[in-house]
Amino acid sequence: MTPNQTAAKVLDGKWVRDQILAELKPRIQAITNARRAPGLAVILVGHNPGSEIYVRTKIKTCGELGIYSEKITPPENVTTEELLGIIEGLNERAEIDGILVQTPLPPQVDKYRVLLGIRPDKDVDGFHPLNVGKLLAHMPAPQACTPAGILDMLRRYKIPVAGKHAVVVGRSDIVGKPVAMLLLHHNATVTICHSKTRNLAEECRRADILVAAIGRAALLTRDCIKPGAVVIDVGMNRKPDGKLIGDVDPEAAKELASAYTPVPGGVGPLTIAMLMSNTVQIAEQHLCSG
């Protein structure tokens, strides 16, 4: 760090998460008073250890907020048709506002048919093609949780987006594409980079806001960060010693960025918070529509 350079601000995902959850509580109470508690069903196929941890945290957060939750655990050898049957049953249950199918799914399950099987108005992940289309058209709909959380974090930390050049590294349907679209809706100029991008470091150095979501440990080094940029690291990669590291070299982010998200503790806590937010928003819409 040069003598005139101030220390980079740490963007604390836990602080943002706690704000989001605190704001949801009176909304949940209002729904409960008017009709019943919002309801979330989580389908967990098989025994993937990572998925089991995620689902446990989701169920625990529902309990703390007063959201009714159900965990459905089909066996590892479940067929696509059997899983669609479970989803169809949940689609028809009035007390279930949101349905989430935890990924990854076993190879014999057609994940695209499963995605299409969830009613769009119960799609708390924001992955149904109808909701993705509404995101593209800038229409109200459930939005993918991690991208929505990133934009909420930028807003709460009062980091301007309009007129800034945002570079998104990664083009997944879960993070890369939707976060690029949300940044565009907030009037950023957006570049999407990926594994076939030429001169990746040069493209990244143009970013006022750099979003790393490519799933490669510390892929983005100091050569990729413009001094003063805001660095949002979505990566969650485990090193041989078991520690987590993001897609950005953490020392480079600390040294060069004006603000950055740490790994862990940055973007991660936002995902479940926005899942709860989507569940409450959908429950409110179901209440209004009778």
- Main-chain phi, psi angles of 190, to 5 degrees: -115, 130
**Residue 134 annotated to the active site:** no
* 79: amino acid identity, one letter: T
Parallel, antiparallel, or unpaired for β 209-212 and 39-43? unpaired
Calculated CA dihedral for residues 227, 193, 233, 17, nearest 10 degrees: 120
Question: Is-catalytic flag, 281?
Answer: no
125 an active-site residue? yes
Burial of 243 (0-12, 13-18, 19+ CB in 10 A): exposed
Residue type for position 234: V
Structure token digits, residue 70: 């159900």
Per-residue model confidence as pLDDT tens for the chain (290 residues): 444 457 899 999 999 999 999 999 999 999 999 999 999 999 999 888 888 998 999 999 999 999 999 999 999 999 999 999 999 999 999 999 999 999 999 999 999 999 999 999 999 999 999 999 999 999 999 999 999 999 999 999 999 999 999 999 999 999 999 999 999 999 999 999 999 999 999 999 999 999 999 999 999 999 999 999 999 999 999 989 989 999 999 999 999 999 999 999 999 999 999 999 999 999 999 999 86
Q: Report the SS3 class of residue 110.
A: coil
pTM: 0.94
Domain spanning 35-119 has what CATH number? 3.40.50.10860
Q: Which of 97, 123, 125, 208 is catalytic?
A: 125
215: left (phi over 0), alpha (psi -120 to 50) or beta: left
> Where do you find CATH 3.40.50.720 in the chain?
144-269
List every span in the chain annotated with CATH 3.40.50.10860: 35-119
The values of phi and psi at residue 52, to 5°, are: -65, -40
Q: For domain 144-269, give the CATH superfamily.
A: NAD(P)-binding Rossmann-like Domain (3.40.50.720)
Number of H helices, E strands in the chain: 10, 11
With beta carbons less than 8 A apart as the criterion, state whether 79 and 108 touch. Answer: yes
CA distance 131 to 125: 10
